[in-house]
């Protein structure tokens, strides 16, 4: 993409964007520019509708809503799993909507982590804290100490992890590996396929946390042979706060008993026989535990319809164009102000957000908010900016950089009013 600094050029990019109309499907505040869809995606009209449908089903059908109504509840987790499968390159049987990343990690570690001759767990040093808490508590449940049994691969630059370092850490004591697909701060996208191959060569089970890639990056989990994966849906999948997450278990493992069982782990044909001996499902559904949180998953039905219409390929293409454009404008207009781009710049190595570092990141984020741009601050020096393929425009990106430039030119940002006087 050649780069012009003019807003006319941004408008031209929007005109040529095949996904531009999807913005109309979302509730986008016209007085602000939302760059935080990687933390909490915005509400779409379709997600709102399917949530309201479910309330209506309850109102109209009472208990019969489990089997009747617009979106019967008994199979909703399976149906949403099937709708999610194309986003991760999985079969419907391998995919289920349930829990949160953290509870799903507990479930899958309880299922796959059976310390014996191999007993260590390998992770990275930059991952999200909750993933590490889950690993440590699972080790402790087995009477093992995290100091001796959790290996965390270090980072040379404090932002990214080298795949080669991870592979070198795969020694013969490692039983299981858990890695993020995209690192939540720097936005680095790891090579899932290569890491999976390396793990399997050494007879190690490998799972991925797709929090920052699902809905932004296509995956091919089945063909890559990934053993398991977990994700949340309130980020790029726009399911709303506390939206129900999901998990993937590769076909080759289906039938394995869930480490943490509950009645929703059942083979659904016999669930209501109420036997005290669990007959568990031979699909990813086996790794559910209790009654699904219907109202926290109903918005996904509508939201995933939008992904089906748009296609994850075009979503990724636009996401890459948006972040490439953002990085280009930052380099052109902001390089003299002490910013550095901390995410990997190549298409194969970056996820859906740009990670901007600045020693005064906290002050700058406050000023952005005061000027109608919603960024995401990560202490101490990171500003994450996520232009979202389905509801952000190139003009939005242009405006963000324009506002940032205004903030840096006029250091006394405190004097700005709440109106977007910088953009005007």
Interface residues with ligand PLP (CB under 6 A) are 100-102, 128, 130-131, 180, 184, 209, 211-212, 232, 245
> Cβ 114 to ligand PLP, closest distance in Å?
23
C-beta of 65 vs 180, nearer to ligand PLP: 180
Nearer to ligand PLP, 232 or 386 (CB): 232
Q: Which one, 177 or 330, has the nearer CB to ligand PLP?
A: 177
Q: Minimum distance between the CB of residue 97 and ligand PLP, rounded to whole angstroms? A: 13
Hey, what's the torsion of the CAs at 38, 44, 50, 54, to 10 degrees? 70
Report the residue number, 119 or 152, with the smaller CB distance to ligand PLP.
Answer: 152
Name the 3-class secondary structure at 296.
Answer: helix
Asked whether the CA dihedral 154, 155, 158, 161 is positive or negative, the reply is negative
Smaller CB separation from ligand PLP, 19 or 35? 35
Query: CB of 118: closest distance to ligand PLP in angstroms?
Result: 25
Around 180, how many Cα atoms within 13 Å sit in the side-chain half-sphere? Answer: 31
When the beta carbons of 128 and 377 are compared against ligand PLP, the nearer one is 128
Give least dist CB 209 to ligand PLP, A.
Answer: 5
Q: Shortest distance, CB of residue 100 to ligand PLP, whole angstroms? A: 3
Give Dmax (Cα) for the chain.
70
Contact 121, 175 (CB under 8 A): yes
CA-based nearest residue to 300, from 108, 2, 43: 43
Report d(CA 235, CA 310) in Å as an integer: 17
Main-chain phi, psi angles of 123, to 5 degrees? -140, -170
Q: How far is the CB of 99 from ligand PLP (least distance, A)?
A: 8
Going by C-beta distance under 8 Å and a sequence separation of 6 or more, which residues neighbour residue 353?
Answer: 38, 187, 212, 323, 343, 376, 384, 385, 386
In terms of Cβ atoms closer than 10 Å to its own Cβ (0-12, 13-18, 19+), residue 115 is middle
Nearer to ligand PLP, 36 or 131 (CB): 131
In 3D space, the residue among 226, 220, 246, 229 whose CA is nearest the CA of residue 303 turns out to be 246
The distance of closest approach from Cβ of residue 378 to ligand PLP in the complex, given in angstroms and rounded to an integer, is: 11
CB 244 within 8 A of CB 296: yes
- Do the beta carbons of residue 347 and residue 320 sit within 8 Å? yes
274: left (phi over 0), alpha (psi -120 to 50) or beta: left
In whole angstroms, the minimum distance from the beta carbon of 183 to ligand PLP comes to 8
Q: Which residues of 124-158 are buried (b: 16+ CB within 10 A; e: fewer)?
A: bebbbeebbebbbebbeeeebebeebbbbbebeee
* Nearest approach, Cβ of residue 30 and ligand PLP (Å): 28
Nearer to ligand PLP, 47 or 211 (CB): 211
Complex with ligand PLP: residue 195 or 330, whichever CB lies closer: 195
């Amino acid at each position: 993409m050649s780069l012009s600094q003019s807003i006319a050029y941004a408008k031209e990019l929007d005109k040529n964007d095949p996904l531009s109309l999807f913005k109309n499907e979302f509730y986008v505040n016209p007085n602000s520019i939302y760059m935080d869809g990687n933390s909490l995606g915005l509400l779409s009209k379709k997600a709102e509708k399917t949530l309201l449908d479910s309330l209506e089903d309850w109102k109209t059908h009472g208990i019969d809503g489990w089997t009747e109504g617009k979106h019967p509840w008994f199979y909703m987790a399976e149906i949403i799993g099937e709708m999610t499968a194309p986003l991760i390159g999985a079969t419907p049987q391998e995919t289920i909507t349930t829990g949160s990343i953290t509870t799903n990690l507990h479930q899958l570690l309880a299922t796959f982590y059976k310390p014996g001759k191999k007993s260590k767990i390998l992770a990275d040093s930059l991952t999200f804290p909750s993933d590490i808490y889950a690993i440590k508590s699972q080790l402790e449940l087995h009477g093992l100490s995290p100091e001796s049994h959790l290996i965390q691969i270090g980072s040379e630059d404090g932002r990214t992890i080298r795949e080669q370092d991870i592979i070198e850490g795969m020694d013969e004591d490692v039983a299981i590996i858990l890695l993020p697909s995209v690192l939540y701060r720097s936005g680095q996208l790891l090579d899932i396929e290569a890491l999976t191959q390396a793990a399997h060569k050494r007879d190690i089970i490998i799972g991925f946390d797709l929090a920052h890639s699902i809905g932004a990056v296509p995956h091919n989990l089945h063909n890559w042979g990934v053993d398991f994966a977990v994700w949340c849906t309130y980020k790029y999948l726009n399911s709303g706060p506390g939206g129900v997450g999901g998990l993937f278990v590769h076909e080759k493992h289906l039938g394995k008993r869930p480490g943490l069982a509950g009645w929703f782990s059942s083979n659904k044909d016999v669930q209501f026989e109420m036997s005290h001996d669990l007959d568990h499902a031979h699909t990813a559904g086996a790794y559910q535990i209790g009654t699904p949180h219907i109202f926290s998953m109903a918005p996904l039905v509508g939201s995933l319809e939008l992904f089906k219409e748009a296609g994850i390929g075009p979503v990724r293409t636009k996401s890459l164009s948006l972040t490439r454009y953002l990085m280009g404008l930052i380099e052109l207009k902001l390089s003299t102000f002490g910013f550095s781009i901390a995410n990997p710049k190549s298409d194969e190595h970056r996820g859906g957000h740009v990670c901007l570092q600045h020693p005064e990141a906290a002050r700058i984020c406050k000023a952005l908010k005061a000027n109608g741009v919603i960024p995401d601050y990560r202490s101490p020096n990171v500003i994450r900016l996520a232009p979202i393929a389905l509801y952000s425009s190139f003009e939005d990106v242009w405006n963000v950089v324009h506002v940032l430039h205004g903030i840096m030119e006029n250091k006394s940002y405190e004097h700005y009013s709440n109106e977007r006087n910088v953009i005007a």
